[in-house]
Amino acid sequence: MGNMKKANYIISVIMLLIGVGIVALASSLKIKLGEGDPGAGFWPMMLGVLIIVFSVCLLFSTIKNKEKLEAKAFTIATPANIRVYILFGIIILFCLILYFLGFYVGALLFIPAVMYLLEVRSVKKIVLTTVITLAAIYVLFGMLLNITLPAPIFMR
């Protein structure tokens, strides 16, 4: 179980770090006030400072509204969440397949895998969905718009 208090603490710390990082990186860029363009570093520097300021604000407002935020809960480790995390894995795998074997091969494996995860067991349903989706994409992108989707690595 996650709750908004914890989440806000984590967010404000991450944001604080990002803000500090931006300020550090921006300080190596040119900042020159007073004559013409204030330089490439001015705007990011300003954003970095604002992010730091507002993440500190978030931290304090979270401390102030501790009880109220603690009551706001959301799920992060239920079986439903775990299914999403498994899906994360499938998607990362799909990205790799996409890179090496191209789009059509990848999608041919990806769509059935996702449907299987969603507890579809009817082979007919799976095959139909896969074939129709890919055919439609091929007609729309490949034929009508002439957009080439990623090809297998040995064909590039």
Partner 1 sequence: MECKKMAALVLAGAMAVTTMTGCGSAGGSDKYPSKDISVIIPKAAGGGTDTAARGLIQYMKENLEGANFVATNKPDGGGVTGMVETSAAKADGYTLGMVTVELAMFPWQDKCQVTPEDYAAICAPIAAPAALIVPADAPYDSVDDFVAYCKENPGKVQVGNSGMGAIWHVAAVSFEKEFDVELKHIPYPNGSADIAAALTGGHIDATIADPSSYKSQVDAGEMKILGIMSEERSSIYPDVPTFKEMGHDMVIRAWASLVAPKDTPEEILTQLRDAAKTTCESDEFKEYFEKQGIDPQCIIGDDCQKMMEDDYAMYEDLLKDIETE
Partner 2 sequence: MSDILTALGNVFTIGNLAGLIFGTGAGILIGAMPGLSVNMGIALLFPLTFAFQGVGGILMLLGIYCGAIYGGSISAILLKTPGTPASVATTLDGYPMATKLKQPGRALGLSTFGSTFGGVFSAICLIIFSPMLASVALKFSKPEYFALAVFGLSIITSVSSGSILKGLLGGFIGLFIATIGIDNLSGSVRFSFGSTYLLGGISFVPILIGLFAFSQVLQSVEDCYKEKYVKTDVKLTRVFPTWEDLKRVFITLLRSSIIGTFIGCVPGTGGDIASFVSYDQAKRWSKYKDNFGNGEPEGIVAPEAGNNSVSGGAMIPMLTLGIPGDGATAIMLGALMVQGMQPGPLLFKEQASSVYAIFIGLLLANIVMGLMGFSLIRVFVKVVNIPKEILIPIIFTLTFVGAYAYNNSMNDVFVMVFCGFLGYFMNKTEFSMSAIVIGIILGSLAETNFRGALTMSDGKFSIFLTHPICAVFLALAAISLLSPVLGPAVRKLLGKDKAKQETEA
CB of 153 to partner 1, least distance (A): 12
SS3 2: strand
CA 145 to CA 43: how far, in whole Å? 39
In the list 33, 80, 123, 144, the residue contacting partner 1 (rule: CB under 8 A) is 123
Count of CB atoms situated within 10 Å of the CB of 136? 10
CA 52 to CA 58: how far, in whole Å? 10
Which does residue 151 touch among partner 1, partner 2, none (CB within 5 to 8 A, set by kind)? partner 1
149 binds partner 1 (CB under 8 A): no
155 binds partner 1 (CB under 8 A): yes
Find the helix or strand (DSSP H, E) in which 71 lies. Answer: helix 66-71
Q: Which of 77, 59, 60 has its CA nearest to residue 14? A: 59
The residues that bridge with 2 in the sheet, in sequence order, are 74
31 binds partner 1 (CB under 8 A): no
SS3 76: coil
CB of 150 to partner 1, least distance (A): 11
In the list 43, 85, 100, 116, the residue contacting partner 1 (rule: CB under 8 A) is 116
Environment class of 39 (CB within 10 Å of its CB; exposed 0-12, middle 13-18, buried 19+): middle
Which does residue 121 touch among partner 1, partner 2, none (CB within 5 to 8 A, set by kind)? partner 1
In the list 13, 24, 30, 100, the residue contacting partner 1 (rule: CB under 8 A) is 30
CB of 30 to partner 1, least distance (A): 5
Site of interaction with partner 1 (CB under 8 A): 29-30, 40, 101-102, 104-105, 108-109, 112, 116, 121, 123, 126-127, 130, 146, 148, 151-152, 155
